[in-house]
Amino acid sequence: MKFYFLILIFLLNCQVSWYHTRVSKNETKETPISEAENVFGELGTACFISSFKFQGLETTGDSALKLNPIIDTQIIENIRTNLKLKNTNTKHIKHIYGVPKSWPYLKELKSFRKIKTFDRFKEIQNLSMEPQYKKTLIKYAEIADADTYFFTDEDILTSFLEFENCDTYYQLNYTKKEKDNYNVVLFLITLGILPTANYENHYFTVYKRKAFDLKRETIAYKFGYRRLISWLLLPTFNFFNDVENYNKDYRFVDHAKDQFLSAIENKYSQPLPIKHLNPVYGDIIGSMYSSDSDLFKTQIPVDTRFAVVRDGKQNVSFYDPIHGLYKIQAINTNTKINSDIITEGFEKTLKSFITTNLVDKVKKNYPKSTILHEMYTPDYRDGTYTFILEIAKPEPGIDEFKKEYFVFSCFKSQSQIYILSRSLPNDTSSANLYQLAESNILDFYSQISFQSKYIEPKPIAIDLAMNDEKRKTETNAEDDNYDDEEDDEEDSEDEEELVESGGGLQGEMDLSGLVSILKERTKIPKGKLDIKPGRFQINQSKWNPPKMKSSKFHIKPGRTKNFSNPRKWRK
What lies within 8 Å, CB to CB, of 61 at 6+ separation is: none
Identify the residue with better confidence: 541 or 280: 280
* Percentage of residues in the chain having pLDDT higher than 90: 34
- Residue 310: inside a domain, yes or no? yes
Alpha-carbon distance 318 to 311, whole Å? 9
Alpha-carbon distance 338 to 457, whole Å? 11
* 164-178, 312-326, 522-536, range with the lowest pLDDT: 522-536
pLDDT tens for each residue of 14-70 = 889 999 999 999 888 899 888 888 888 788 899 999 888 887 654 444 443 444 456
The confidence score (pLDDT) of residue 421 equals: 96
* 75-89, 126-140, 319-333, range with the lowest pLDDT: 75-89
The confidence score (pLDDT) of residue 275 equals: 55
3-state SS of 539-556 is CHHHHCCCCCCCCCCCCC
The confidence score (pLDDT) of residue 9 equals: 59
**DSSP conformation class of 72:** -
Alpha-carbon distance 266 to 378, whole Å? 47
Closest CA to 226 of 206, 252, 258: 252
End-to-end CA distance of the chain: 41
* pLDDT surpassing 50 at residue 90: yes
Alpha-carbon distance 530 to 542, whole Å? 16
- Decide the pairing of beta strands 46-53 and 168-182: parallel
* 2-11, 183-192, 485-494, 551-560, range with the lowest pLDDT: 485-494
483: left (phi over 0), alpha (psi -120 to 50) or beta: alpha
Domain that holds residue 338: 283-483+497-524
Radius of gyration of the chain (CA): 27
Element (H, E) at 344: helix 335-344
Q: What DSSP letter does each residue of 15-40 carry, written as one string?
A: EEEEEEEEEEETT---EEGGGPPPTT
pLDDT interval class at 296 (50, 70, 90): very high
Q: What number is the average pLDDT over the span 148-163?
A: 77
Number of folded domains that form the chain: 1
pLDDT tens for each residue of 424-479 = 987 777 778 898 999 999 999 999 999 999 988 766 555 544 555 555 545 444 44
Identify the residue with better confidence: 160 or 477: 160
Question: 131-143 vs 433-446: helix axis angle to the nearest 10?
Answer: 120
- Residue 71: inside a domain, yes or no? no
The confidence score (pLDDT) of residue 268 equals: 54
**Contact indicator for 74, 257 with CB cutoff of 8 Å:** no
Q: What number is the average pLDDT over the span 347-364?
A: 91
The confidence score (pLDDT) of residue 98 equals: 86
The confidence score (pLDDT) of residue 58 equals: 47
CA 277 to chain centre: 13
- Residue 270: inside a domain, yes or no? no
What lies within 8 Å, CB to CB, of 567 at 6+ separation is: 471, 475
| CA trace torsion 352, 357, 360, 364 (10° rounding) | 170
**Contact indicator for 404, 423 with CB cutoff of 8 Å:** yes
pLDDT tens for each residue of 362-383 = 988 888 889 999 999 999 999 9
Identify the residue with better confidence: 112 or 84: 112
- Residue 36: inside a domain, yes or no? no
pLDDT tens for each residue of 225-271 = 999 988 887 778 778 888 877 666 668 888 888 888 888 876 654 55
| Encoded amino acid at 170, one letter | Y
Domain CATH code at residue 292: 3.40.1000.10
Angle at Cα 552 formed by Cα 551 and Cα 556, nearest 5°? 125
The confidence score (pLDDT) of residue 122 equals: 93
**Contact indicator for 280, 270 with CB cutoff of 8 Å:** no
Angle at Cα 167 formed by Cα 163 and Cα 171, nearest 5°? 70
**Contact indicator for 209, 168 with CB cutoff of 8 Å:** yes
Alpha-carbon distance 277 to 257, whole Å? 15
* Percentage of residues in the chain having pLDDT higher than 70: 70
Q: What number is the average pLDDT over the span 398-404?
A: 79
The confidence score (pLDDT) of residue 459 equals: 65
Residue 42 CB burial class (10 angstroms; 0-12, 13-18, ≥19) = middle
- Residue 135: inside a domain, yes or no? no
Beta strands in 333-400 (DSSP E): 370-377, 384-394
HSE of 309, CA atoms in CB hemisphere, 13 A? 31
**Contact indicator for 314, 450 with CB cutoff of 8 Å:** no
Q: What number is the average pLDDT over the span 298-327?
A: 88
- Residue 364: inside a domain, yes or no? yes
- Residue 511: inside a domain, yes or no? yes
- Residue 429: inside a domain, yes or no? yes
Residue 72 CB burial class (10 angstroms; 0-12, 13-18, ≥19) = buried
**Contact indicator for 174, 202 with CB cutoff of 8 Å:** yes
* 54-58, 77-81, 138-142, 147-151, range with the lowest pLDDT: 54-58
